[in-house]
């Protein structure tokens, strides 16, 4: 794994509301993430881990502090500029899959490419390649209702990687899956990290899921309480 720094946070805070009604979701987070890392973020409900994920994924902006992503000072960007980073450098996987119900697997995977202006043939070819990588090329015409939960999450992963992002954000990616399917999805994420070098930042509350990561941080009361490297990460 390269030692190049992908993400650098210094004194990052996020405050919701104002005055007596204010809530400090993050209280001055310092964090470095290297390119190619597989990082799990853990913590109890209300700890700030989801807020941290939203800031890292350029879905929100911090109240104070600095966030450097690949040399870009994200905290200085406006909403449209953050959107460009998401579009061109990041992929997202969600617990609820977030697939379009009446749209085929292939069309769901093609969706991010529409925003990039790819031709119909280019979208089709790249989406089929992404579905092949997640083992679902034979399901390209099926709608989400015709797929199992694990297959829907594989479609969601294909959609996340179809733009060839260098960083994937996974928010409880196995939260709606049974134990067998969870293992299959985590093996796929392991493969994307180790074989394709994609950096993965994953929020989870499940210890067995976090065991696949090479590094685990625990967030409590808006601060990182523990940061450990796992020598025995599952692969």
- Check: CB of residue 176 under 8 Å from CB of residue 151: no
Average pLDDT value over all residues in the chain: 93
Reported as a single tens digit per residue, the pLDDT across 125-143 is 999 999 999 999 999 999 9
The per-residue pLDDT for range 193-225, each reduced to its tens digit, is 999 999 999 999 999 999 999 999 999 999 999
116 DSSP assignment? T
From 3.20.20.150, 3.40.50.300, 1.10.12.10, 2.40.160.60, which CATH number describes the 37-59+86-229 domain? 3.40.50.300
- Name the packing angle between helices 120-133 and 105-114 (round to 10°): 120
Residue 3's pLDDT band, with cuts at 50, 70 and 90, is confident
Decide if pLDDT at 83 tops 80: yes
Nearest to 28 by CA among 219, 233, 228: 219
Higher pLDDT, 34 or 117: 34
Q: How confident is the model at residue 74 (pLDDT cuts 50, 70, 90)?
A: very high
Statement: residue 234 has pLDDT above 80: no
Query: What would the pLDDT profile of 24-72 be if each residue is shown by its tens digit?
Result: 999 999 999 999 999 999 999 999 999 999 999 999 999 999 999 999 9
141: tokens are 């015409």
Q: If you search the block for the tokens 């090329």, which residue do you land on?
A: 137
Q: Average pLDDT for residues 74-94, to the nearest whole number? A: 93
Sign of the dihedral defined by the CA atoms of residues 151, 132, 212, 90, in that order: negative
Query: How many angstroms from the chain centroid is the CA of residue 145?
Result: 24
Q: Is the pTM here over 0.85, yes or no?
A: yes
Contacts of residue 79, defined as CB under 8 A and 6 or more positions apart, other chains included, come to: none
**Amino acid 231: pLDDT:** 61
Q: pLDDT-based confidence at 20, cuts 50/70/90?
A: confident
**Spans of all domains in the chain:** 37-59+86-229
User: In which residue are the tokens 């119900």 written?
Assistant: 101
pLDDT classification of 117: cutoffs 50, 70, 90: confident
- What is the phi/psi pair of residue 3, to 5°? -95, 5
- CA 152, CA 103: separation in Å to the nearest integer? 12
Q: Which of 132, 124, 127, 186 is nearest to 160 (CA)?
A: 127
- Is 145 in contact with 100 (CB distance < 8 Å)? no
């Amino acid at each position: 794994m390269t030692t190049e720094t992908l993400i650098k946070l210094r004194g990052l805070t996020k405050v919701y509301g104002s005055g007596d009604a204010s809530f400090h979701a993050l209280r001055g987070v310092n964090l470095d993430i290297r390119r190619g890392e597989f990082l799990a973020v853990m913590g109890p409900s209300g700890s700030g881990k989801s807020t941290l994920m939203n800031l890292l994924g350029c879905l929100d902006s911090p109240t104070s502090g600095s966030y450097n992503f690949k040399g870009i000072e994200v905290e200085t960007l406006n909403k449209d500029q953050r959107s460009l980073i998401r579009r061109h450098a990041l992929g997202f996987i969600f617990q609820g899959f977030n697939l379009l119900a009446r749209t085929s697997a292939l069309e769901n995977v093609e969706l991010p490419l529409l925003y990039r202006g790819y031709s119909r043939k280019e979208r089709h070819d790249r989406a089929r390649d992404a579905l092949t990588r997640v083992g679902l090329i034979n399901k390209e015409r099926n709608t989400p209702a015709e797929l199992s939960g694990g297959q829907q999450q594989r479609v969601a992963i294909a959609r996340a990687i179809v733009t060839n992002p260098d960083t994937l954000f996974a928010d409880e990616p196995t939260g709606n899956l049974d134990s067998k399917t969870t293992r299959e999805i985590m093996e796929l994420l392991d493969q994307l990290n180790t074989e394709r070098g994609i950096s993965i930042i994953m929020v989870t509350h499940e210890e067995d899921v976090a065991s696949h990561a090479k590094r685990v941080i625990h967030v409590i009361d808006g601060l990182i309480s523990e940061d450990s490297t796992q020598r025995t990460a599952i692969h």
